[in-house]
A and B are shown apart, each in its own frame.
Chain A
Amino acid sequence: MNTAEKTHQDNSDNLSNRANKYANSVKVTRWTAASKRAVILAALLIIALAFAPLFASVGFIDRLTALFIYIILATMWNALAGYGGLVSVGQQAFFGLGAYFTIRIAHLGLDPFVAVALSAVVVAAVSYPISLIMLRLRGGEFAIGMWVIAALIHLLVNLDGLIQGETGISLISLNSYPSQSRLTIIYLLALFSMTGLLVMLFILLRSRQGSAIQAIRDSEEAASSLGVEPEKVKRLLFVLAAFGIGLAGALWLASATSFQPKTYFSVQWSAYMIFMVLVGGIGKFEGAILGAILFFLVETWFSTAGVWYLVGLGAIAIAFSLFLPKGIWGELERRFNWQFLPVGYHVEIKHSDPNKSNNK
C-alpha cells in the first residue's frame, strides 16, 4: 500500500498550494559563489604547480609526481564505484597493463613518453571487450571477478619473453633524456594527465550523460524508466577508469623506470584506491582528491612502519565503511553544505524552513 498516494481532495489542494509557495522561493543553481572561487583557485594552483620544477627540489618534485598519480587512481576508482556503483578490487589489471604496454611500445622504438600516452589508449581499447563480460556481473561478483581478470592478465604478461617473468625489465630508453629534464617531463606529464582526467570527469558528470550517471547511482530502475541506458553509461565509466588507471601505471613506470609484474599487478593498488576513496568520500568528486592527499601524507609519514602501516590502512578503511561511509568530504558537505566542484545541482530554499538549504 502506498501511503504517499493521497487522493483526498482538500489535502491535495493544500499540497499544491504548498508546492507553489516553495516554487517561488527555491533557487536551483550549479555555481555558488564559493564554488566559483574554488574552481578559480584550483586553476591558479595547477598553473603554479606547473612552474614548481623551476624552484622545488628534485625529491619534492618526485613526491608530487606520486601524489598526482594517486589523485588519478582515486578519481578513477571513484568514477567507477562512486558514480557507476561498480566496486572493483581488480583495477591493478589496468595499472599493470599501462606499464606493460609502455614497455612494449617503447620497445618498438618509439619515444618513451609517446609510449606512455599511447599505452593508456591501448589499455582503454583492451578494457572495452573486458567490459562486455564483466558489466554483466553484479556487486561482489563484479568486485572479485575483476581480481580474477587482474590475476589472468598478470599471468599472461609473464608469458611475454621480453618481460623475463617476475624478473621484469626497465624502460631503458628513458636514459636518452638527462635525468633532470626527465624528472621534469614526468612531473609535467603527471600534472597534465591529472588535470586532464579531472576536467574530463567533471565535464562528463555535468553533461546529460552525467546526470544519467548520477540517476543510475540513485536508482537503476528509475534511470531506465527515464530512458537512460545504465549499461552504456557504466561502460563509458569502465573504459574511462581503465584509461586513467592505465595512464597512471604508465606514469608510475616512467617515474620508477623498472617494471616487475608482481609489483604492478599487486592487489595492494586496489587497497590504496579503496582507502583513498573511502576516507575521502565515495561518490564525491572532491572526496577522491582529498582522500588521495590524505593517503599521500599518511604514506609519507608512516610507510616506514611497514606491516603496521598496512594494518592501519585496512583498519581505517573498515572504520570508515562502518561509521563514516560517506567519508570525510561527505561529512563536511553535510555539515557545512560545502560543494566546491559542482557536478550536481545546488538547491537553495529561501524560506524560514529548518532545512535552510539542501544539497542534491
Chain B
Amino acid sequence: MTNQIIQAILLGGYYALIACGLSFMFSIMKIINLAHGSLLVLSSYLFWWLADSYAISPFYSLSIVIPIMMMIGWALQEFLLQKSARGGELLPILTTFGLAIVLENLLFEYFGADTRSLAPYIGDLSWESWQILTDIYVGKTSVYILLSAISLLASLQLFMQKTAMGRQIRATAHDPDTAGLIGINARKASAIAAAIALGTIAISGLAMSIRGVFDAYSGGPQLLFAFEVTIIGGMGSLWGVLLGGIVLAMAQTIGASIHPQGFLIGGHVIFFVILLARLYMANSVIAIRIKKVFGGLR
C-alpha cells in the first residue's frame, strides 16, 4: 500500500512534467496546443538521434535540444498561432491538430515503426534504485523526474513573478491591447512565452524517453495525460499541475488494482469525476479555498 502510494507520487511527478508546457501555454496564451504530444515525441526523437548517431549523453544534449525546441516554439507562435488566433478561438485548435498529424506522420516516415528508448544510453541509472524502507525501492530516474518537475514548476513560477519579462508575459496574457499601450511588445512577449513552453516540452521529452519506450504515435496518449493533469489541477495554476499529476497517477494505480485493464480507465474516470465536481461546485466555499491554496501563478 505504502509502496503503491510512493510509486504513484513519483509517476505523478512525471505527469506534472509533461503537463507543464501545455498548462503554461493555456494559461498564458489561452491556446490548447493539440500538437503538444507530438512535439514531446519530436524532442524525444532528437535526444535519441543525438545519442544514437553522435553518442552524446542525453543529459548533455539537453543543452542542444532545449534551444532547438525553443526556436520551434518561437516559430510556432510567429507563423501559426499568431495568425490563426486572430480567426477566433476555434481556429488554433484546428491548426495545432493539423500540425500534430503532420508531425507524427513525418516522424513515422523518418524513424519508422520501431519503438525507441533512451534507457540504454544512460548506463546504470536506468535501473538503479534507492531502498527507502525495508521492502520499498524507488527508481533513481523516477525520483530525478519528480525533482525536475518540482524545480521546473518553481522556476517558471519565479520567472513569471519576479522578472520583468515574466510580468510582461502576464500582462500580455491579461490584456494584449493595453499591454501595447504601455509599451510592451505583445508579439514578442507571446513568442517568448511559446518558446518557454516548448523548452519545457524538451525536458519532458527527455523524461518520457528515459522512463519508457516511445514511437511516432506516442504523442496522442501523452497529450491526453497532460490535458487531464491540467484540468484536474485547475487550469492556469502551475502548482495545481503537480497536484493534478499525483491525483491522476493515484487514480490509475487504484484502477489497476481493481481490474487488470483498469490503469488508463482509472485515470479517465477521475478526470470526469473532477470535471463534474469542478463544474457543479464552482462557486462553493471549498472550491474557493482550494483555489486560494493552489492558486499559484494567477
The answer to A–B direct touch (Cβ < 8 A) is yes
B34 engages A89 (CB within 8 Å):
yes
A315 engages B93 (CB within 8 Å):
no
A201 to B68: give the CA distance in the assembly, Å.
Answer: 48
Q: Mark B190-225, 1 if CB is under 8 A from A, else 0.
A: 000000000000000000000000000000110110
Contact A313/B101 with A148-B271, A152-B269 known, Cβ cut-off 8 Å: yes
Q: Which of B95, B228, B279 is packed against the most chain A CB atoms within 10 Å? A: B95
A322 engages B105 (CB within 8 Å):
no
Q: Which residues of A contact B97 (CB under 8 A)?
A: 89, 143, 270-271, 274, 317
A139 engages B84 (CB within 8 Å):
no
Q: Of A52-60, A190-198, A304-312, which binds chain B?
A: A304-312
Q: Which residues of B contact A314 (CB under 8 A)?
A: 98-102, 105
Q: Which residues of B contact A185 (CB under 8 A)?
A: none
Q: Of A154-162, A289-297, A334-342, which binds chain B?
A: A154-162
Residue from the list A156, A274, A315 in contact with B265, Cβ < 8 A:
A156
Q: Mark out the residues of chain A between 261 and 295 whose CB falls within 8 Å of any chain B CB in the assembled complex.
A: 267, 270-271, 274, 278
Contact A321/B94 with A307-B105, A314-B105 known, Cβ cut-off 8 Å: yes
A136 to B97: give the CA distance in the assembly, Å.
Answer: 22
A267 engages B93 (CB within 8 Å):
no
B268 engages A148 (CB within 8 Å):
yes
Contact A322/B34 with A151-B264, A311-B105 known, Cβ cut-off 8 Å: no
Interface size on B, residues (CB 8 A): 44
Q: Which residues of A contact B95 (CB under 8 A)?
A: 318, 321-322
Contact A141/B90 with A155-B261, A314-B100 known, Cβ cut-off 8 Å: no
A318 engages B261 (CB within 8 Å):
no
A140 to B34: give the CA distance in the assembly, Å.
Answer: 9
A211 to B106: give the CA distance in the assembly, Å.
Answer: 43
User: Does chain B have a CB within 8 A of A344?
Assistant: no
B227 engages A311 (CB within 8 Å):
no
Q: Mark out the residues of chain B between 70 and 116 whose CB falls within 8 Å of any chain A CB in the assembled complex.
A: 80, 83-84, 87, 89-95, 97-102, 105-106, 108-109
User: Does chain B have a CB within 8 A of A87?
Assistant: yes
B34 engages A145 (CB within 8 Å):
no
User: Does chain A have a CB within 8 A of B272?
Assistant: yes
A140 engages B261 (CB within 8 Å):
no
Q: Which residues of B contact A87 (CB under 8 A)?
A: 90, 93-94
User: Does chain B have a CB within 8 A of A81?
Assistant: yes
B275 engages A145 (CB within 8 Å):
yes
A152 to B262: give the CA distance in the assembly, Å.
Answer: 11
A141 engages B261 (CB within 8 Å):
no
User: Does chain B have a CB within 8 A of A33?
Assistant: no
Residue from the list A133, A307, A315 in contact with B98, Cβ < 8 A:
A315
Q: Which residues of A contact B220 (CB under 8 A)?
A: 147, 267
A314 to B94: give the CA distance in the assembly, Å.
Answer: 10
A87 to B275: give the CA distance in the assembly, Å.
Answer: 19
User: Does chain A have a CB within 8 A of B254?
Assistant: no
Q: Mark out the residues of chain B between 1 and 42 whose CB falls within 8 Å of any chain A CB in the assembled complex.
A: 26, 31-32, 34
User: Does chain A have a CB within 8 A of B64?
Assistant: no
A315 engages B102 (CB within 8 Å):
yes
A317 to B271: give the CA distance in the assembly, Å.
Answer: 30
User: Does chain B have a CB within 8 A of A325?
Assistant: yes
B264 engages A136 (CB within 8 Å):
no
Contact A318/B102 with A144-B227, A274-B94 known, Cβ cut-off 8 Å: yes
A133 engages B279 (CB within 8 Å):
yes
Q: Mark out the residues of chain A between 69 and 120 whose CB falls within 8 Å of any chain B CB in the assembled complex.
A: 81, 85, 87, 89
Contact A152/B101 with A139-B90, A158-B261 known, Cβ cut-off 8 Å: no
User: Does chain A have a CB within 8 A of B66?
Assistant: no
A143 engages B99 (CB within 8 Å):
no
Contact A148/B87 with A140-B26, A307-B109, A311-B105 known, Cβ cut-off 8 Å: no
Contact A159/B261 with A140-B93, A152-B269 known, Cβ cut-off 8 Å: yes
User: Does chain A have a CB within 8 A of B276?
Assistant: yes
Q: Which residues of A contact B268 (CB under 8 A)?
A: 148, 151-152, 155
Residue on A nearest B31 in the bound complex, by CB: A140
How far, in Å, is B181 (CB) from chain A's closest CB? Answer: 16
Q: Which residues of B contact A144 (CB under 8 A)?
A: 32, 34, 223-224, 227
Residue on B nearest A310 in the bound complex, by CB: B105
Q: Which residues of B contact A158 (CB under 8 A)?
A: 261
Q: Mark B52-80, 1 if CB is under 8 A from A, else 0.
A: 00000000000000000000000000001
B102 engages A139 (CB within 8 Å):
no
How far, in Å, is B225 (CB) from chain A's closest CB? Answer: 10
Q: Which residues of B contact A315 (CB under 8 A)?
A: 98, 102
User: Does chain A have a CB within 8 A of B189?
Assistant: no
Q: Which residues of A contact B223 (CB under 8 A)?
A: 144, 147
A152 to B269: give the CA distance in the assembly, Å.
Answer: 8
Q: Which residues of B contact A136 (CB under 8 A)?
A: 279
A317 engages B94 (CB within 8 Å):
yes
Residue on B nearest A270 in the bound complex, by CB: B97
Q: Which residues of B contact A152 (CB under 8 A)?
A: 265, 268-269, 272
A85 engages B90 (CB within 8 Å):
yes
Q: Mark B276-289, 1 if CB is under 8 A from A, else 0.
A: 10010000000000
A–B pairs, 16, beta carbons within 8 Å? A87-B93, A87-B94, A89-B93, A133-B272, A148-B224, A148-B227, A151-B221, A151-B224, A152-B265, A155-B264, A311-B101, A311-B109, A314-B101, A318-B95, A321-B95, A322-B95
**Closest 3 interchain pairs by CB?**
A140-B32, A314-B101, A317-B98
Report A's interface with B, CB cutoff 8 A: 81, 85, 87, 89, 133, 136-137, 139-141, 143-145, 147-148, 151-152, 155-156, 158-159, 267, 270-271, 274, 278, 307-308, 310-311, 313-315, 317-318, 321-322, 325
